[in-house]
Chains A and B, each alone.
Chain A
Amino acid sequence: MAEKLLEVDDLHVQFATEDGIVHAVDGVSFELERGKVLGIVGESGSGKSVTAMTLLGLTRGVNAQFEGRIEYKGEDLLTMSEAELRRFRGRELAMIFQDPMTSLNPVYKVGKQIGEAIRTHEDIDSRTTRNRVVQLLRQVGIPHPEERVDDYPHQFSGGMRQRAMIAMALANNPDVLIADEPTTALDVTIQAQIIELIGRLKDEFNSSVILITHDLGVVADVADDIAVMYAGRIVEYGTKRQLFYDPQHPYTWGLLGSIPRLDRPKPDRLASIPGSPPSLINLPQGCKFRPRCPHAFAKCIEHPPLENRVAGTPPHLDRCWLTVEEKRDLRDLTIHGEAAA
Chain B
Amino acid sequence: MSSNGPLVETIHLKKYFPIKQGLLQREVARVHAVDDVTLQVFEGETVGLVGESGCGKSTLGRTIVRLLEPTEGDVQFEGHSIAKLGRRALQPLRREMQMVFQDPYASLNPRKRVGSIIDGPMKIHRTAGKKDRRKRVQELLEIVGLSPEHYNRFPHEFSGGQRQRIGVARALALRPKLIVADEPVSALDVSIQAQMINLLEELQNDFKLTYLFIAHDLGVVRHVSDRIAVMYLGKLVELSPAEELYTRPIMPYTEALLSAVPIPDPDLSEQRHRIVLEGDVPSPIYPPSGCRFHPRCRYATEICSQVEPPLADYGNGHLAACHHPLNVDAQTLQRVAVAPETPRAADETALPEDSSGDSTPVPSG
Contact = CB atoms under 8 A, between A and B. Distances in A.
Given A192-B276, A270-B223, A276-B159, A220 B262 contact: yes
B195 A260 contact: no
B219 A215 contact: no
A217 B263 contact: yes
B161 interface: yes
A193 B216 CA distance: 16
Contacts of B197: 260, 270
B218 A193 contact: no
A68 interface: no
Given A188-B217, A255-B191, A273-B191, A157 B280 contact: yes
Interface in A265-300: 266, 269-274, 276-277
B337 interface: no
A158 B52 CA distance: 12
A159 interface: yes
B190 A188 contact: no
A274 B257 CA distance: 31
Given A192-B274, A193-B277, A260-B220, A220 B193 contact: no
B262 A215 contact: yes
Contacts of A158: 53
A262 B193 contact: no
Given A217-B264, A244-B264, A188 B191 contact: no
Contact of A272 (B191, B263, B264, B277): B191
A332 interface: no
Contacts of B19: none
Interface stretch (B64-72, B118-126, B265-273, B355-363): B265-273
A155 to B, nearest CB: 12
Interface string B212-228: 00001111101100000
Interface in B172-194: 189-194
Contacts of A258: 190-191, 193-194
Nearest to A240: B266
A241 interface: yes
Contacts of A192: 259-260, 262, 274, 276-277
B246 A262 contact: yes
Interface string B230-251: 0000000000000100100000
Contact of A43 (B189, B201, B220, B246): B189
A261 B268 CA distance: 12
B162 A276 contact: yes
Interface string A192-205: 11011000000000
Interface in A124-183: 143, 157-160
B3 to A, nearest CB: 25
B261 interface: yes
A204 to B, nearest CB: 17
A196 B193 CA distance: 26
A260 B225 CA distance: 12
A188 B265 contact: no
A218 B223 CA distance: 20
Nearest to A243: B266
B256 interface: yes
Contacts of A195: 262
Contacts of B161: 276
Contacts of A277: 189
A241 B197 CA distance: 29
A42 B88 CA distance: 48
Contacts of A190: 52, 280
User: Is the interface on chain B under 10, 10 to 19, 20 to 34, or 35 or more residues?
Assistant: 35 or more
A271 to B, nearest CB: 7
Contact of B264 (A196, A220, A276): A220
Contacts of B264: 216-217, 220, 244, 256, 259, 261
A193 B281 CA distance: 13
Contacts of B262: 188, 191-192, 195, 215, 217-218, 220-221
B287 interface: no
A184 to B, nearest CB: 10
A335 B266 CA distance: 16
A121 to B, nearest CB: 31
A115 interface: no
A216 B219 CA distance: 13
A214 B189 contact: yes
B297 interface: no
A44 interface: yes
B190 A214 contact: yes
Contacts of A262: 218-219, 222, 246, 258, 261, 263
Nearest to A274: B195
Interface in A101-120: none
A44 B160 contact: yes
B332 interface: no
B198 interface: yes
Contacts of B218: 188, 262
Contacts of B160: 44
Contacts of B261: 188, 217, 262
Contacts of A160: 280
Nearest to A273: B191
Contacts of B243: 266
Nearest to B219: A260
Interface of A: 43-44, 143, 157-160, 187-193, 195-196, 214-218, 220-221, 240-241, 244-245, 254-263, 266, 269-274, 276-277
20 contacts: A43-B191, A157-B280, A188-B218, A189-B257, A189-B277, A191-B262, A192-B259, A192-B260, A193-B276, A214-B190, A215-B190, A216-B264, A217-B264, A220-B262, A255-B191, A258-B194, A260-B194, A270-B194, A271-B194, A272-B194
Interface of B: 52-53, 159-162, 189-195, 197-198, 201, 216-220, 222-223, 243, 246, 256-266, 268-269, 274, 276-277, 279-281
3 closest Cβ pairs, A-B complex: A217-B262, A272-B194, A258-B194
